[in-house]
Amino acid sequence: MRAGDRVLLTGTVYTSRDQAHMAIFRLLDAGERTPFEIKDAVIYYAGPTPGHDGMPTGACGPTTSSRMDAFTPRLLDLGLAAMIGKGLRSDDVRDSIVKNGAVYLCAVGGAGALVARSIKEMEEIAFPELGCESVKRLYVEKMPLTVGIDPTGGDIFRQGIEQYKM
């Protein structure tokens, strides 16, 4: 995959935002088991709304990814394969993506209803006290995404900025 490629993701994805990341790090720091195996996992920075009309979830749009930048290098070092979110990432995150051969995928912000159509199953697996920010296991089919940062360091955000600098 290269920055700018469009992909349709099918498989298991875990939701985790700020509060869930903090809870996961408390478990890691205490040497306890995390709610899902980090190695080879995909984390979607999202807080799905409740499902309706027979759908497993309501809107499920991406959260601004930079809010998770402080957590990301450690998770990548533990084997995290990919993250899904929106927006620019820090240099530390980009460097860690390259170091670990991972990928950052972008979902379209403001299109949570579109993403929800790709979600076929949803199960809350940890931290129910966090409400919509609890960790959920999703099974997605053909989730439309764009490669934001690839394993070589290609970065659509920085490429775009460079392209339009005066």
The amino acid occupying position 2 is R
Phi-psi region of 118 (alpha: psi -120 to 50; beta: other; left: phi over 0): alpha
Of 9, 13, 17, 21, catalytic: 21
Cβ atoms 148, 3 nearer than 8 A: yes
CA distance 40 to 157: 25
- Is there a catalytic annotation at residue 52? no
Beta bridge pairs of residue 119: 140
CA distance 91 to 137: 29
- Enumerate the active-site residues: 21
